[in-house]
Structure 1
């Protein structure tokens, strides 16, 4: 069964896409820990990050790095935190979260509600950074 991320890849569901190539997709998390929280996914449906073939995993990290650089240019923060949890959606993904302290990447924190217009603007600014 296709995951929600596969439906986003196939454009069956909308997403605030910030970067895309033939192998990966990056989009804003709709329930972010911080504004600018992005998910990076392989387009190939693979459940668990450590089941991703080595070469593809390396390419995924390089893609994530390029997205993190763009986020940092747009969202004021000290760093872009990286997390791989892997329990929420059965599709490998990397969280990129703008952080000023370690508590900013605590997934038990309440999620933000960000207006659609702000998400669209943020996605466009990151994409064009």
Structure 2
């Protein structure tokens, strides 16, 4: 069965895309730690990040670096944190989130963001990528 991320990539479930290429996508997460929180997801369904081929890992990191710079422009912050957790969806995904304090870094108990806020945040990051 396809993961929720594959279903988003295939258009079965709506998603707010920031970046797409032949190897990965970057989408807004529906439960952001802070505005500007995105997920970098390989198109290939791989459960554990340590099973990623080296070339795909390098590509995901390069995209993450480029998107991090855009997040910093779109959502001024002290840093952009990078997490690979992977327990909630069995499909590798990298969290990139703006951070100003350690308290900003949390993954449990997050509220669902309204679609219009996700769309606005995605547009800010896409503009910063341009």
TM-score greater than 0.5 by the shorter chain: yes
Deviations 1:34-61 (A, max 9, x none): 1111000000111111110111101111
Aligned to 1:60: 60
User: How far did 1:8 drift?
Assistant: 0.9
Aligned to 1:44: 44
Q: Gaps (5+ residues) in structure 2?
A: none
Aligned to 1:86: 86
The alignment's C-alpha RMSD in Å is 1.1
The TM-score with structure 1 as length reference comes to: 0.93
1:19–1:127 contact (8 Å) kept in structure 2: yes
User: How far did 1:125 drift?
Assistant: 1.5
Q: Gaps (5+ residues) in structure 1?
A: none
The TM-score with structure 2 as length reference comes to: 0.93
Aligned to 1:115: 114
Question: 2: CA distance between counterparts of 1:61 and 1:94?
Answer: 9
User: How far did 1:73 drift?
Assistant: 0.6
